[in-house]
Structure 1
Amino acid sequence: MSAPALLAPGGTLEMARVAVDEGADIVYVGPLGWSRRPYESEMTDEDIRAAIAYARENGRQVRVVLNTFPSPFEMDDFARKVELYAAWGASGFIVTDPGAIRLIRGLVPDTLIHVSIGSGVTNSWDAEFYREIGADVIILPYRWGEEEIAETRCVSGIGLEVFLFETVQTGKICPGKCIMSSYLKFREWLDIEGKATSGSANRGAKECYRVCQTNWEFSSEDDDPVKLKLRRDARLMLEQLPAFIELGVECFKISGRERPVPMIRDLVRFYRKALDGIAAGQTDMSVYVDELATLRERWTVEKRKRVNVLMDRADHYADAAPTLAVAQ
């Protein structure tokens, strides 16, 4: 059994280099204002070029995340970005917008195109649609299990990528099809490279506040209020790995451009060991249970910290909104 590719985040140049050093086959990086993340977790073009060079020197690859929805007025800039990164040696792109996928395929015919989770895939036929317009790989929702993966493989010849998250068949929303952060604060933002954007993180505005991952109170006239999350927290995956590989999954993705570098370092090291072990015939995942438990606890702590930071920012922007409106 051959080992699938391990795709790891590069939220900073340091993180990208660490991911390469620890055994990631592919590192993904996002340009400022084009990849649906806070500016702290996006890169300047200079750092992207350095990350591509470092990966290539070590026999690894870089995918550039361009998963916002560009407007007609941004398409020329979008095209220039694509050609620039391809010329520097980026091996592919992670994209959401169908029109952008077609554009990239025309500009760089030999590049690899991943469909981002932002596309909001909901069934196996969506995967075939993206294959037909030029995509090579599609990231599947982490709520999908073996049955959904098998069906997608049957329906479409597109490459399959999954998050290294536990499959949890619960939740109120589908990742990707969300503009809720815009309702907390619709504001303009000018990034370091001069891209003016307003509104949703899907357009490059800063930022997604993870409103689905904080507690909300729901009530009706007849019932007592209850607190719940719109989306259940995901756990790091382990047990499903051998079965998913047997089903044809060819790329496993570690999420976390916003996480601390040591967290990503240890995750890449752990999953590199697990995937290499499976390739060598070690399919009993119980040997990794203790190590995974520690990583799961660390992941949960870091995730809670990040959600709290984002919600605090949203509260700040909401409080400042009347003042800002007067000033404008």
Structure 2
Amino acid sequence: MEKVELLAPAGDLERLKMAVLYGADGVYLGGQIFGMRAAAKNFSIEQIEEGVAFAHQRGVKVYLTLNIIPHNEDFEGLEEYLLQVEKTGIDAMIVSDPGTFELVQETLPDMDIHISTQANTTNHRTINFWHKMGAERVVLARELSFPEIHEIREKIHPEVELEAFVHGAMCISYSGRCLLSNYMANRDANRGACAQPCRWNYYLVEEQRPGEYMPIYEDEKGTYFMNSKDLSMIGHIPEMIESGIKSLKIEGRMKTIYYVATIVRAYRMAIDAYYEDPENWTFKPEWMQEIKKVSHREFTTGFYFDKPDEKEHIYADKTYHRDYTFIGLVKSYDEETGTAVIEQRNRFFKGDTVEIVGPEKETQTFVITEMINEEGEPIDVAPHPKQQVRIPVNRPVKPYDMLRKERMDHDES
């Protein structure tokens, strides 16, 4: 049985490496022009080349996003940029605009092209149109149910691949086609600069009574009436795979390395469990527990089972749940002494109870009994970002393994 692809976001080179090591089959990233996440660090040509080499060495594909809704000036230099990108060995381009699609085909006739979710594809006729034009894959709009996806799969050409989101933030506007950010913050969401005003706190003001701010919902703080829950389909892996979807996409090019690695690892376990025994696949609560150890909102299944109702929004606040803190990344391990060098990512203390998480490893817990700084001195706290600290660990570890701890009042956010 050909396995479904687990597709992960990569906001920079470090996040690409974490996604690959923690189980992604493919990663998608943005270059420094034409991508929908302008605030992400994104990749230079040299970084794309390094990332593609790292991924390909491990059998992982890399896709480049070119999915903004462009204006005339956005095309300046794009043809030259495409020729540079081609030399990196990128596997496909993700586009949403017909003009961009045509330019990619003209410039790189052998390049695979995927149609972005920004193209709002919701029906089989549109997918067959894109396939006739030469697209290899279509990323479905988030607003589709399983019955609709099954019908689409039955009525489209067998060679065209379908991709759909399996986890991450939902947008209040149809497939991300939003004008609110541009209007309220002069940041064009359709050109990669969304300010997420749907997460802001709103009051109602009556035209004849300026200055009188009335809550829309019964809450003295106002209401976040456009604040959607996050999508999570980890409890429905069989339905996702059996719908005919080829690639399961995780949203989040703005997320941290800890988020990317943790979410990819959880979905990798759930997907692999399905292929080990499809008939008897059973959801394991520990997969959801893992997901909840990263910063997250409450979860929803989106449109897959039915149209979302008022229960799929978060009205009280826009706060993320942060129950665990990512405190460090393993840089090296000394077998003789049983100690590891940890690069600090959030403050931690001697005496902290921490968890070690790694690719294809069971989570283990231990107490930090000793901490040595770069000068060889014993310390009680690691307060400095990227500080190198040596600590004894209770099992062998590898570079890119992560340390986390349950949050306390003194933790960083």
TM class, shorter-length = 0.7 to 0.9
Distance 1:166 1:269, change over 3 A: closer
Report SS of the residue matched to 1:263: helix
1:230 alignment partner in structure 2 = 226
Can you list the C-alpha shifts for 1:181-206, whole angstroms capped at 9, x where unaligned?
A: 111232xxxxxxxxxxxx513234xx
Which structure features the higher share of strand residues?
2
Report SS of the residue matched to 2:149: helix
CA-CA distance at 1:16 after TM superposition: 0.4
Q: Is contact 1:162–1:253 with CA below 8 Å preserved after alignment?
A: yes
User: d(CA) in 2 for partners of 1:283 and 1:218?
Assistant: 52
User: d(CA) in 1 for partners of 2:258 and 2:169?
Assistant: 25
1:147 alignment partner in structure 2 = 147
Report SS of the residue matched to 2:162: strand
1:163 alignment partner in structure 2 = 165
Can you list the C-alpha shifts for 1:266-285, whole angstroms capped at 9, x where unaligned?
A: 11112122212212224555
User: d(CA) in 1 for partners of 2:233 and 2:279?
Assistant: 14
Q: Is contact 1:9–1:255 with CA below 8 Å preserved after alignment?
A: yes
Structure 1 residue runs of 5 or longer lacking an equivalent are 187-198, 307-328
Q: Is contact 2:31–2:45 with CA below 8 Å preserved after alignment?
A: yes
Report SS of the residue matched to 1:118: helix
Question: Could you tell which deviates more after superposition, 4-13 or 71-80?
Answer: 71-80
1:54 alignment partner in structure 2 = 54
Distance 1:301 1:150, change over 3 A: closer
Structure 2 residue runs of 5 or longer lacking an equivalent are 208-213, 218-222, 299-317, 322-413
User: d(CA) in 2 for partners of 1:217 and 1:126?
Assistant: 40
CA RMSD, Structure 1 to Structure 2 (Å): 2.9
Report SS of the residue matched to 1:39: coil
Amino acid at match of 1:145: S
| Aligned counterparts, 1:101-140, within 5 A | 101-140=101-140
Amino acid at match of 1:70: P
1:201 alignment partner in structure 2 = 189
Aligned length: 289
User: d(CA) in 2 for partners of 1:295 and 1:283?
Assistant: 25
1:272 to 259, 268, 274: 268
User: d(CA) in 2 for partners of 1:256 and 1:101?
Assistant: 24
Q: Is contact 1:32–1:39 with CA below 8 Å preserved after alignment?
A: no
User: d(CA) in 2 for partners of 1:211 and 1:250?
Assistant: 33
User: d(CA) in 1 for partners of 2:215 and 2:23?
Assistant: 51
1:255 alignment partner in structure 2 = 251
1:32 alignment partner in structure 2 = 32
Q: Is contact 1:7–1:26 with CA below 8 Å preserved after alignment?
A: yes
Q: Is contact 1:17–1:51 with CA below 8 Å preserved after alignment?
A: yes
Distance 1:3 1:64, change over 3 A: same
Which structure features the higher share of helix residues?
1
Distance 1:67 1:6, change over 3 A: same
Can you list the C-alpha shifts for 1:162-219, whole angstroms capped at 9, x where unaligned?
A: 1113999xx8631222122111232xxxxxxxxxxxx513234xx2112233444468
Question: Could you tell which deviates more after superposition, 83-92 or 211-220?
Answer: 211-220
Report SS of the residue matched to 2:77: helix
User: d(CA) in 2 for partners of 1:166 and 1:149?
Assistant: 19
Distance 1:231 1:162, change over 3 A: farther
User: d(CA) in 2 for partners of 1:78 and 1:296?
Assistant: 40
Percent same amino acid among aligned pairs?
28
CA-CA distance at 1:220 after TM superposition: 7.8
Q: Is contact 2:5–2:26 with CA below 8 Å preserved after alignment?
A: yes
Asked whether 1:210 is paired with 2:196, we answer: yes
Q: Is contact 1:242–1:283 with CA below 8 Å preserved after alignment?
A: no
Question: Could you tell which deviates more after superposition, 211-220 or 121-130?
Answer: 211-220
CA-CA distance at 1:20 after TM superposition: 1.1
2:44 alignment partner in structure 1 = 44
TM-score when normalising by structure 2: 0.63
Q: Is contact 1:9–1:254 with CA below 8 Å preserved after alignment?
A: yes
Amino acid at match of 1:264: V
Can you list the C-alpha shifts for 1:278-328, whole angstroms capped at 9, x where unaligned?
A: 12224555442233144146342599459xxxxxxxxxxxxxxxxxxxxxx
Report SS of the residue matched to 2:270: helix
1:15 alignment partner in structure 2 = 15
Report SS of the residue matched to 2:114: strand
Can you list the C-alpha shifts for 1:66-102, whole angstroms capped at 9, x where unaligned?
A: 1113333443521222222122100001111112112
Asked whether 1:239 is paired with 2:235, we answer: yes
